[in-house]
Amino acid sequence: MLRFSKPVLLVILGAFTLAACTAPDGAPRPKTTEGALIGGIVGGILGLGAGGNKKNNVIIGTAIGATLGGLAGQELDRQEEALRASLSNGEVGIVNTGSALVVTLPESITFDTGSALLRSDLRDDLVALADNLNQFPDTTADIIGHTDNVGAAGFNQKLSTARAEAVFAVLNNAGVQVDRMRAIGRGESEPKASNLSQAGRAQNRRVEIIIRPVE
């Protein structure tokens, strides 16, 4: 078994971290860097609480934490890049939070008002999303339906669930395993904008797909 001195180990870990924080074209990956920083802080704190030489523990813990955090962030950055390249509809929103990808499908491109029947022109993008999930198998996806507050709350709850299940079915039929996904209806309970305006209500009628790395 190979053994490395502490300085050599830190150099190796640092090299991996720096490589993870940079895209192939040399541009920085913000979320990878963020993951490395958070991982380094957590690793340093854990090292401080360990027995033995606290100074060495903190240094090694920080290096290991930064490397692991950077690698996790790198994978999420890679998945985001691949997903953006594969989607053809510019109205599909993608936000990389650093710990998850939030893909937003507004009602205007997914369903007619009051309906849970998916529009046929969105299916190609959902198949592309399924291909992306299959390309990155160490992830899960929560498919969450949302509505505005127009109409009865009970109807909105059922509608949001049915819409989430419709997206779930397309992804599953495209090869994403059932045990990697959940379909959830939130009804009108989690608006992202004010329901007092037409524009705000339009933002609230959506399906969000939250993609997370498996921990």
> How far apart, in whole angstroms, are the C-alpha atoms of residue 191 and residue 204?
5
Pick the CATH number of 88-213 from 3.30.1330.60, 3.90.1150.10, 3.30.70.520, 3.40.50.970: 3.30.1330.60
Could you read off the pLDDT of 65-116 as tens digits, one per residue? 445 445 557 999 999 999 999 999 999 999 999 999 999 999 999 999 999 9
| DSSP class per residue in 155-193 | HHHHHHHHHHHHHHHHHHHTT--GGGEEEEE-TTSS-SS
Query: How many residues would you count in the chain?
Result: 215
The pLDDT of residue 65: 47
The pLDDT of residue 160: 98
Could you read off the pLDDT of 131-183 as tens digits, one per residue? 999 999 999 999 999 999 999 999 999 999 999 999 999 999 999 999 999 99
Looking at the chain, the domain(s) classified CATH 3.30.1330.60 span 88-213
Residue 128 binned pLDDT confidence (cut-offs 50, 70, 90): very high
Residue 184 exposed, middle or buried by CB count within 10 Å (0-12, 13-18, 19+): middle
Could you read off the pLDDT of 25-51 as tens digits, one per residue? 555 555 555 555 555 565 546 556 666
- Tell me: pLDDT of 206 over 80: yes
pTM of the model: 0.71
Could you read off the pLDDT of 7-16 as tens digits, one per residue? 554 444 454 5
Closest residue by Cα to residue 125 from 82, 164, 92, 169 = 92
Residue 215 binned pLDDT confidence (cut-offs 50, 70, 90): confident
